[in-house]
Chain A
Amino acid sequence: MAVYRRGYDRYQGPITGRLSRLLVLPKYSWRHVLQQRFVVSLLVLAMFYPLGCIGFVYLSNHVELLSDFGSGIEDFLQIDGNFFLIFMNVQGVCALVLTVVSGQKLIAPDLSNGALQLYFSRPLSRAEYVLSRLLVLLGLLSLITWIPGLLIFSLQWGMAGWKWFAQNWNLGLGVFIGSLLWILLISLIALTCWAYIRRKIMAELAILWTFFALNAVSEIVNNVLDVTWASFFNPRQVVDQIWNGLLGITPESGRAVLGCWLAVLVMTAVLLAVLRRKLRPVEVIS
């Protein structure tokens, strides 16, 4: 680093564009997150299942290698909606764990010492701030969800050919949209928890508790009142139904997938509204 002049010159050169400014916070946050060994270890661990899936895809396209196991092996090695549903479930759990451990530093420090005032006194809106923080998590979680999912899909497409693609193109789309939906929902829940709870451990527990508690409450309401609509309040079940719909698998219960989409939409809107309320440059006490 050069030795800098001790004077001050007012900068009057060109300024960067809006997109570039939007990516400033994610850029430094990614750098910070990826400096944490625990997070990197989790990322590596979360790659094991996709690697296994790649092996599975290879074998399903080279059944002759397993001819010793008998003729039933062909039925087992099917790359279909169920295969991708299991993939999304496994990676979805990994994404939740990674979210819990990696994102605490995203919002809490900004709120602790009033840095939001400085962010918002610059050309950065509240919506852009939330988006930039979301991008950190979405980028990180994409590495273990839809990106490997689409790689596996592409690999299968490459090995099985266009005929398979013509019959199963919805699987790729389903993996992409379904994974994105899940990581968006857990990122929003996590950001909301971190915005309201400053203590790391409490915030982490709150994120996990949100899923367990909503699951438990919806099950209790369903059983006590003998209804099914309470499941719309369970993000895990709602997303699961949407995944089933996207991957062309018949849902186990009769709940409409459209209802689940609406439920996710409402959850997202509520979380964004709660975040918007909290992430203000100044607190107004009236």
Chain B
Amino acid sequence: MNTTPIIELQDLRVRLGQQEILQGISCRLGVSGTGKAIGLLGPNGAGKSTLILTLLGFHKIFDGNARVLGLDCHSHSRDIKARIGYMPENEAFIADMTAVHFLRIMGELSGLPQRIALEKAHEVLFHVGLGEARYRTLGTYSLGMKQMAKLAQSILHGPEVLILDEPTNGLDPAARLRMLKLIREMKEEHNMNVVLCSHLLRDVEEVCDEVMILNEGHLVHQANLEEERHTNRRFIELEVTGDDGELAEALQKQGAEGVSEGNGRWRIVFPPGMELDVLWRLVARQNLAIHHLTHRRDSLEEIFLKAVGHLERSEQSHPEPPEKETAHGRL
């Protein structure tokens, strides 16, 4: 079974001029060939783009090691580039060239045979919704169209890993949804691994399976969002009226753990596999009326703010009950 990580960093340090932008990052993200997406999050200046550009071999590694698909970014840069597709954040096109011609050249540079490059250029432009505008020069495209053209050139040659830097920048809501749909499609239907760098948490939450949060050149958090989502479903906050004296025992019989906070408030931890219906039945049997029931939900925003330190500061000024801290303790 292939267990090669998509990205593997070992004490990675990158300096630009005198400034150390990435300060000793170590992690393993994703598994190649699984069609998963990795989100790269962080506030402005955290080092997200520097990390991407280092993976592409554009920045020199000062110390440590970076690998993409098991290949060293410095010594195997060419091999890595043959297997990835990159969509940069900034403008990247030739203004007086038609989209088809531009993509054809990019395809051929990626190693597609001449005829196939032309076919793929047409096919991909239709796929991203630029079919009708494919013979227009790129300089005449709107910002949204340019974003789509950048996505088209990155998937043209069928890369194993797709690196997208702020793909939804400047897109209107409809175009944003279309872009996210295309990205999801790339990973789910075409089995591409996606590395999505964005400051929009919602985009990352919608698309990614793993997330890596950078702050001031450090890795401050790494999480498997799938597991987080799964885990979150096990924590329940419940508020009932009536005599709830036997609820704790009833929950225990079902394998769940319940802690009363008084005034009918409960915090319950479900065992793996237990569904919410069980709780409904228990509460009904004990003639309790439910006022409030929620899954405790660690949103990506919450994860992010904690990771970069903002939430800690706000929590210090308004301390939460210790149980809640425990529930969030995974972070």
Contacts and interface: CB of A to CB of B under 8 A. Distances in A.
Contact of B92 (A4, A114, A124, A280): A114
A86 interface: no
Q: Which of A13, A123, A124, A284 has most B Cβ within 10 Å? A: A123
A6 interface: yes
Nearest to B111: A15
B82 interface: yes
Interface residues of B, number: 52
B82 A123 contact: yes
Interface in A1-32: 1, 4-16, 21, 24-25, 28
A213 to B, nearest CB: 31
Q: Which of A8, A16, A119, A124 has most B Cβ within 10 Å? A: A8
Interface stretch (A105-113, A143-151, A214-222): A105-113
B123 A10 contact: no
A122 B116 contact: no
A35 interface: no
A10 B88 CA distance: 20
B6 interface: no
B119 to A, nearest CB: 7
Contacts of B139: 113
B19 A281 contact: no
A10 B19 CA distance: 40
Interface in A200-254: none
B190 A10 contact: yes
Nearest to B119: A4
B58 A281 contact: yes
Given A24-B105, A123-B78, A123-B110, A113 B91 contact: yes
Interface string B116-145: 100110111011000100000011000000
Interface residues of A, number: 38
A120 B94 CA distance: 14
Interface of A: 1, 4-16, 21, 24-25, 28, 109-110, 112-115, 117-125, 280-282, 284, 286
B70 interface: no
B58 A120 contact: yes
Contact of A113 (B19, B95, B126, B191): B95
B241 interface: no
B252 interface: no
Contact of A123 (B81, B105, B192): B81
B92 A16 contact: no
A221 B222 CA distance: 65
Interface in B94-120: 94-97, 101, 105-106, 108-113, 116, 119-120
Interface in B39-77: 53, 56, 58-59
Nearest to B88: A117
B58 A286 contact: no
Contacts of B215: none
Contacts of B106: 118, 122
Nearest to A15: B111
Given A21-B108, A118-B153, A122-B110, A10 B131 contact: no
Contacts of A118: 86, 88, 92-93, 106, 153
A112 B82 contact: no
Query: Which 4 pairs, one residue from A and one from B, show the smallest C-beta to C-beta distance?
Result: A286-B17, A15-B111, A10-B158, A11-B158
A117 B78 contact: no
B92 A113 contact: yes
Interface in B215-250: none
Contacts of A284: 16-17, 59
Interface of B: 16-19, 53, 56, 58-59, 78-79, 81-82, 84, 86, 88, 90-97, 101, 105-106, 108-113, 116, 119-120, 122-124, 126-127, 131, 138-139, 153, 155-158, 185, 190-192
Contacts of B190: 8, 10
Nearest to A112: B95
B18 A113 contact: no
A195 to B, nearest CB: 15
Contacts of B112: 11, 15-16
A282 B111 contact: no
Contacts of A21: 108-109, 111
A286 to B, nearest CB: 2
A84 B124 CA distance: 54
A25 B106 CA distance: 10
Contacts of B78: 123, 125
Nearest to B153: A118
B53 A282 contact: yes
Contacts of B17: 284, 286
Given A4-B123, A8-B190, A16 B95 contact: no
Given A10-B192, A122-B109, 17 more contacts: A4-B126, A11-B112, A11-B156, A15-B111, A15-B157, A109-B94, A109-B95, A109-B97, A113-B92, A113-B139, A118-B92, A123-B82, A125-B78, A282-B59, A284-B59, A286-B16, A286-B19
A214 B113 CA distance: 45
Contacts of B119: 4
B69 to A, nearest CB: 14
Contacts of B110: 15, 122-123
Contacts of B120: 11
A122 B81 contact: yes
Contacts of B158: 9-12
Given A15-B82, A21-B111, A8 B155 contact: yes
Given A4-B126, A6-B126, A8-B124, A115 B94 contact: yes
